[in-house]
């Protein structure tokens, strides 16, 4: 059996579909209010901040995938995220279960540096510190050989369905709502964006590849990196409509953070938008050369199709 911890978010749902398509029909879905993704799924509702519930959630699993997310609330992250991961690690040890940890890039430096699996952690802000603490906790266990685990790390998302990201919110949600598009800080810096179904497919592939364990993997992105200016121009071409957009300066976010909780929570993530975001995924591409990465054009076309069908 393979278990997805945090299975009803954008990554977990597509991961469940991919596992069912290509790997196993024996899947357990775990979240606070667990719901089936596939007809054959088993469901287990649990709060993983409870150690005993975490042990029970993982019991009988060959592989557990940690795709759990929390709302963008710094205090909540500091209070719960590391506790939850600690409980999951202990649960995997007790049940002799492999752990696949889905990670983000918040712990990396926010500058022009090319980001590889060897990049030293240098987080900006409290959320970045939480993600560093979590990654280091698991890396320590992996190095000590106390758990068989692998880290799958992804940059910012864009994608269909439930995808939540700054790019989806400011560009594709704005298109859907017929509002003016927005870009944070700069429109002339290269972005590394991962198509959410690709992130889930790659995570399933790594989880089911025995020799991938004991390592960190950068998940695959379209290497044809675009600036937001170019990304919106491509989007305009695909939609057949010229989309106007505004570049939102840092001062606007600063002022907004005094009045809006979401703006306040977002502010510490903004430095990355001042620089080229160069996410290197060559290790994955070399090891899995047959994996087909979704190009931006194909991804945007799918988002457009989904939006049109929803009308």
pLDDT for the residue numbered 217: 98
Tally the C-alpha atoms within 13 A of residue 12's C-alpha that lie toward its C-beta: 25
Provide φ and ψ at 132, rounded to 5°. Answer: -65, -45
Give residue-wise pLDDT tens across range 220-244: 999 999 999 999 999 999 999 999 9
Name the average pLDDT for the chain. Answer: 95
Mapped onto helix, strand or coil, the DSSP state of residue 95 is helix
Taking residues 163-189, what's their average pLDDT?
A: 94
* First-to-last C-alpha distance (Å) of the chain: 39
Q: In which band, very low, low, confident or very high, does the pLDDT at 137 lie, cut at 50, 70 and 90? A: very high
pLDDT for the residue numbered 8: 80
Taking residues 109-127, what's their average pLDDT?
A: 95
Q: In which band, very low, low, confident or very high, does the pLDDT at 146 lie, cut at 50, 70 and 90? A: very high
Asked if pLDDT for residue 180 goes beyond 90, the answer is: yes
Taking residues 270-295, what's their average pLDDT?
A: 96
Q: In which band, very low, low, confident or very high, does the pLDDT at 259 lie, cut at 50, 70 and 90? A: confident
Helices (H), 29-125: 51-58, 74-76, 82-95
Using a 10 angstrom Cβ sphere, with 0-12 exposed, 13-18 middle and 19 or more buried, the burial of residue 207 is buried
Q: Where is pLDDT greater, at 39 or 254?
A: 39
Over pLDDT 70: what percentage of the chain? 100
Element containing residue 181 per DSSP (H, E):
strand 181-184
Cα–Cα dist 258/243, whole Å: 30
Find out whether 28 and 40 touch, Cβ atoms under 8 Å: no
Find out whether 23 and 208 touch, Cβ atoms under 8 Å: yes
Q: In which band, very low, low, confident or very high, does the pLDDT at 253 lie, cut at 50, 70 and 90? A: confident
CA dihedral (83, 84, 87, 93) positive or negative: negative
Cα–Cα dist 40/14, whole Å: 15
pTM: 0.96
Task: Collect contacts of 232-239 with beta carbons under 8 A, ≥24 apart.
Answer: 232/171, 232/181, 232/183, 232/187, 234/296, 234/297, 234/300, 235/171, 235/175, 235/300, 238/297, 238/300, 238/301, 238/304, 239/175, 239/304
Taking residues 102-127, what's their average pLDDT?
A: 96
Asked if pLDDT for residue 257 goes beyond 80, the answer is: no
Q: In which band, very low, low, confident or very high, does the pLDDT at 22 lie, cut at 50, 70 and 90? A: very high
């Amino acid at each position: 059996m393979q278990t997805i911890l945090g299975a009803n978010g954008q990554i977990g749902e597509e991961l469940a579909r991919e596992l069912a398509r290509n790997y196993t029909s024996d899947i357990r879905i775990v979240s606070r209010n667990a719901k089936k993704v596939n007809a054959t799924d088993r469901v287990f509702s649990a709060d993983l901040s409870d150690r005993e519930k975490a042990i029970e959630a993982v019991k009988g699993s060959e592989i557990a995938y940690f795709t759990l997310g929390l709302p963008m609330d710094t205090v909540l992250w500091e209070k719960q995220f590391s506790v939850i991961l600690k409980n999951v690690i202990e649960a995997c040890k007790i049940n002799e279960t492999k752990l696949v940890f889905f990670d983000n890039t918040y712990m990396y430096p926010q500058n022009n540096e090319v980001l590889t699996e060897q990049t030293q952690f240098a987080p900006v802000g409290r959320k970045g510190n939480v993600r560093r603490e979590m990654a280091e906790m698991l890396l320590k266990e992996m190095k000590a050989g106390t758990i068989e685990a692998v880290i799958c790390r992804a940059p910012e998302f864009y994608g269909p369905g439930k995808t939540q990201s700054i790019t989806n919110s400011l560009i594709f949600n704005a298109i859907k709502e017929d509002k003016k598009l927005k870009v944070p800080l700069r429109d002339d810096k290269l972005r590394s964006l991962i198509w959410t179904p690709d992130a889930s497919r790659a995570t399933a592939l790594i989880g089911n590849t025995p020799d991938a364990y004991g390592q960190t993997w950068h998940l695959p992105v379209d290497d044809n990196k675009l600036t937001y200016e170019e990304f919106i121009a491509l989007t305009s071409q695909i939609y057949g409509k010229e989309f106007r957009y505004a570049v939102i300066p840092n001062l606007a976010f600063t002022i907004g953070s005094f009045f809006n909780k979401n703006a306040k929570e977002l502010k510490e993530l903004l430095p990355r938008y001042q620089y080229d975001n160069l996410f290197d995924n060559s290790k994955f591409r070399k090891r899995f050369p047959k994996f087909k990465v979704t190009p931006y054009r194909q991804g945007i076309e799918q988002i457009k199709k989904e939006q049109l069908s929803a009308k």
